[in-house]
Chain A
Amino acid sequence: MKPFHYERASTVEEACSMSTESEESCFLAGGTTLIDLLKLNVMRPAKVVDVRNVDMDTVDLLEDGGILIGANVRNSDLAWHQKVRRDYQALSEALLSGASPQLRNMATVAGNVMQRARCPYFRDNYSPCNKRSPGSGCAALGGYARSHAVLGTSEHCIATHPSDMCVALAAFEAKVRVEGLAGTRDIPFSDFHLLPGDRPDREHAIDPGELITGVVLPPNVEGASSVYLKSRDRASYEFALASAAVSFALVEGRIAAARIALGGVATKPWRAFEAENCLEGNEPSSELYEEAAALAMEGAITQPDNAYKVPLARGLIVRALAIARERVEAQV
């Protein structure tokens, strides 16, 4: 680990100005990603600004029926929040499927949004990796890529976005609230994470000196039910090999407000817009689910080790839609 300066902020303004004083600075919240990567020498900031004392750890109900989740809210607290369990069930399920209880007790919402890739070649600190060392190449291509992405990849990077929580946030069309010295802005979730393209080192639409202060969730559609399904080798404490967050309502027997987001298969939390369009306005059926699932995985680019992810994700989408329908009907 490279030694760094450590400062502790108690307000957003203080955090932002502390951060802008150094070009190579990063924020510390739960530390469950950052401290690992510091120890591995993969991240080498000159300064770490601790934001754990900044007052942003509540879940507030908004007038429109949505919620504002403070950046420092712990994953466990959010997962067990009453409103989240009732109206955003897929988010609660996604959170509880992630990591271990100990990690969930440490990890924060903003930290999870900023979670970095689990690609072994990114973390080993010596393989070519365009994300860690721009222009050096991508060792995952032609290497061991069983856990890697099949959607949103480029010839420069195929690292999977590892978060479970973000998949549910994508499905619920969350916005990421960031504050900087220039002011506050809300970034739509699907614009927040960037595709790797030819710059896999650029991961977010966030500017230097900006701090995530919260995540805004719009009110869920009336009558909608959601579910998060995750597939992995072991029963707990493993990143998704594929996951799906789905949500929809039934209006006069037809699907409305369909949302499908995928995890474990893409370079960012992945919205399957075409699959959603295919569901909208139609009566639910297994054939329709299959059709939507096929659309969601269209255009997947696989490696020899990860071709199984395409049928796996399709199966998960179909199953998740079936469960969501059961839940919708159980509400009535």
Chain B
Amino acid sequence: MDTNIIGRPLNRKDGHLKVTGAALYATDHQREGQAYACAAHSEIASGELLAVDATATLALPGVLTVLHALDAPKLFRCPESLNVGERRPPFEDNRIYYAGQILALVVAESFEVARHGAQLLELKYKEDEQVSLDFERDLREGKIEQTDASSRGQAAEAFDRGHARIDATYETPVGIHCAMELHGAVAWWEEERLVVEDSTQWVVGQSKALANTFGLPESDVEVRSRFVGGGFGGKLFLWSPSILAAEASRVVGRPVQFSLDRRGQFTSAGHRPRTRQRLRLAADEDGHLVSLRHEAVNQTSQVDQYEESCPDVSASLYQCPNVSISQGVVRSHVGTPTPMRGPGETPGLWALESALDELAVELKIDPLELRLRNVAQRDEAKDLPWSINLHERCLREAAARFGWSQRNPEVGSMREGSEVIGWGIASTSWAAMRSSATVTVDLLQSGKARISCATQDIGTGTYTVFAQMVKELTGLPFDSIEVRIGNSRLPTGPISGGSMVTATVVPAIAEATEKAIDALLDLAVAEDGPFAGSDKKSLRMVGGKLCSRSGGASRSIGEVLESKRLSFVSGKGEASPGEEQERYSFRSFGAHCAEVRWDAGLGRLRVSRVTSVIDSGRIINLDTASNQVYGAIVMGVGMALLEESVYDKRTGRPVTDNLADYLVPVMTDCPEIDLSLLNVPDPHIGKLGARGIGEVGLTGVAPAIGNAVYHATGKRIRTLPIRMEDLMG
């Protein structure tokens, strides 16, 4: 196989469409006769909806109808085996479980009228006296439901015998995905068939979930999502906007557009839940871990039990004979949480990697050295050998590139003008998963290729990577390869989550392309074929044409197909995790080094520099892969220093529910980033050895920054985000 293409930084296939505004996102779609919906959200966090007075709303010219919990056709729930955002469909009953819950929907001729109509609705409530909004109080009162626990060895006894010990509690706040594109959809019905222009990370799942919700056969639902303006996990599963657009369309008999507003994103479309995690570590004199206990609790909603699974990573990342981990949840009057980039491991590593830094200080061992001494030789949690583990190489290379050897370990010892500088290091990691995919590749009479798979591009470069694979195997020009994804009716493909798409689909594309070429070869060597009588094995495809390995004339795809008067030949590829999963453990590793600068007089804390070295197997496209890690590092800066969705403890309402008050990093907050992707193929994960890269860039960033803050200031901040007031005084 000619490998000129794989690994190269090719421009995005969809780049031109996006920068010129020609790419149509979900709610950009305009259907004839389209109506618009706007939601009214609950102002209370717990209680009952008693009445909806829609008199003023219905009197507005242009209002078509008002749907609400007291007067709406009942929708069905999805089975437990199918992941959805919130299990309870909208309007199921008149109970109010969280502030911001959608209680009514106004459908009108225009967006403006719908919004005005929603503001005019008068909702009458009965507010409950018992409201659980205070996580700290709930924890104090022990309202924890244990959901998961596992152990090996004797962690408690080993802790007591440890030479150095750390017992500390870490917290992470509610995080909001803050995708630029809101959750929204345009839905319409064609007879009994539902079509939704949607924004989702999983067209297949969205289609199944809508079929269940409306009691339709799956074949009667089509979900399209050609472009997604950011997901970060927030669009993995079905949330109410798609349901409500479809429901409103069914009621008014017209296409309906419905989108949450920015405020709605803070209550009604998932979030990374608040966590509290207790870490107890013990090491021997040489810095080898002898005991690790990681107990985590996360907040969940009244209607769903969402587990953030923080401690799982702690059981495998380092070598330790005595480990015990547990996870619990506390129910609260908040919306249902959902995965957010690096779910579990991102808050989990905040705790583990901060605690390791504390242990290094206690042991007076360099924090890089402490990690090197504890690199896991095998996955002790799964009791399997690693497929490949380049953790040590990542740590060493990151430290070398960053200049770690120049670090003065003394707190506050590195200064420049009015700034004190801190350097911190942390490991980063993500379990490498695969799921199943079916792909078809067609070679067309026009000389082009077409690849089809019901997966989607959430902005990470899926269009480009798929085309690159076909180009690699056929030699066709990039522009001659059409990538058809983002439609649930295509051959079933994977969810864009868990960094799985590339690892899952790449082997299937390879198989499908090879089969399509093989089918073309069969035609070529058949009677009346251009290479009649030749041995298939003597031919090969070069530059999109067939030719003999010994030279001579070449024939285009079109010429071969013409010999049989065919429009195309197809190949189908199927890939799914195989027996390798039972023989090896798959995980991506990396290391981040961060530099922070703190100016006490200005209350200014900034991340000035991050060096990251990451192993995520073979890199298919250097640009789109690097782009994901750059974005992840910036997201990590936000997690470390800025992001927190604050709720008013008295009312349970989000207070920072917009992009001026919920702070995400802006360009000037972006550190100088030095990134190296090792690009070593995973020997066992499947053809080409590519693992995903969406998560691994993020998981260890915040602790690297937190550890740098400690090095600069001597203050160990265990609760995110780290703010100026934590460091003052």
Contacts and interface: CB of A to CB of B under 8 A. Distances in A.
Interface string B628-664: 0000000000000110001010110101110011010
Given A315-B603, A316-B601, A231 B724 contact: yes
B728 interface: yes
Given A126-B43, A308-B728, A142 B603 contact: no
Contacts of A233: 641-642, 663, 723-724
B112 A1 contact: yes
Given A233-B642, A308-B728, A118 B601 contact: no
Contact of B602 (A121, A127, A139, A229): A229
A53 B108 CA distance: 34
B119 A312 contact: no
Nearest to B641: A233
A126 to B, nearest CB: 5
A13 B705 CA distance: 58
Contacts, number: 89
A236 B655 CA distance: 21
A308 B725 contact: yes
A118 B112 CA distance: 24
A229 B602 CA distance: 8
A142 B725 CA distance: 19
B540 interface: no
A141 B655 CA distance: 13
Interface stretch (B384-392, B562-570, B618-626, B665-673): B665-673
Nearest to A315: B601
Contact of B656 (A120, A126, A235, A312): A120
A127 B651 CA distance: 9
A142 B650 contact: yes
A307 B604 CA distance: 17
A9 B65 CA distance: 38
A143 interface: yes
Contacts of B653: 124, 126-127
B175 to A, nearest CB: 15
A163 to B, nearest CB: 14
Interface string A1-37: 1110000000000000000000000000000000000
Contacts of A39: 115
Contacts of A126: 43, 653
Contacts of B119: 1-2, 41
Contact of B655 (A144, A231, A312): A144
B650 A143 contact: yes
A236 B668 contact: yes
B396 interface: no
B156 interface: no
B602 A234 contact: no
Nearest to A126: B43
A248 to B, nearest CB: 19
Smallest CB-CB A-B distances: 9 pairs: A308-B725, A235-B668, A236-B668, A315-B601, A144-B655, A231-B603, A319-B601, A312-B603, A120-B655
Interface of B: 43, 112, 115-116, 119, 418, 600-604, 606, 641-642, 646, 648, 650-651, 653, 655-657, 660-661, 663, 665-669, 723-725, 728-729
28 contacts: A2-B116, A3-B116, A120-B655, A120-B656, A120-B661, A127-B653, A143-B648, A143-B650, A144-B655, A144-B656, A147-B661, A231-B602, A231-B603, A233-B641, A234-B663, A234-B666, A234-B668, A235-B669, A236-B667, A238-B660, A241-B603, A241-B724, A312-B603, A312-B724, A312-B725, A315-B600, A315-B603, A319-B602
Given A233-B723, A234-B665, A235-B669, 18 more contacts: A3-B116, A120-B655, A124-B657, A127-B651, A234-B641, A234-B663, A234-B666, A236-B667, A238-B660, A239-B660, A241-B724, A307-B725, A308-B603, A308-B728, A311-B729, A312-B724, A316-B603, A319-B602
